[in-house]
Amino acid sequence: KKFVQNVVWNLQLSPDQTRVGVITFSSQAHVKFHLDRYKDKLSLHRAIGALEYEYGDTYTGAALSMLRRKMFRHYNGDRPNIQNIAILMTDGESNINTFRTITEARKAKKHDIHI
């Protein structure tokens, strides 16, 4: 969590600049908050600090699918003509449906999401 907090603390966070959303995953993926949720660094820093580690398997494909289908959508704070960048952090190698990880990464790339 500290690493992520340090990274976002150095961003220019605002509705007109950088936006941050978080998806956590283990055996399943969960949106913790969308791109339009936090508009100031302190609130975002606290929200990241409150995240809990999710024990279980590593289903990276589910996280990538959620990223494309739920996170980078206009109704959740995505903006047209702004580059979509995702930082994927994992505790290990994907171990559930590993082929889906590759498939979902390719789909994300086709949707101009840079991972």
pLDDT at residue 87 in the model: 93
What pLDDT digit, counting tens, does each position of 89-99 carry? 998 889 999 99
Instruction: Tell me what the mean pLDDT of segment 74-94 comes to.
Output: 93
Rounded to an integer, what distance in angstroms lies between the CA atom of residue 11 and that of residue 9? 6
The predicted model gives 59-64 an average pLDDT of 96
Q: Which domain holds residue 95?
A: 2-114
Is residue 94 within 8 A of residue 101, CB to CB? The reply is yes
Q: Among 82-86, 91-95, 102-106, where is mean pLDDT lowest?
A: 91-95
Q: What is the pLDDT of residues 32-47, one digit of tens each?
A: 999 999 999 999 999 9
**CATH label of the domain that carries residue 6:** 3.40.50.410
Residue closest to 111 by CA, chosen among 66, 59, 58: 66
Max distance between CA atoms of the chain, in angstroms, equals 38
The number of folded domains in the chain is: 1
CA distance 46 to 78: 22
The per-residue pLDDT for 80 is: 92
pLDDT (average), residues 42-66: 95
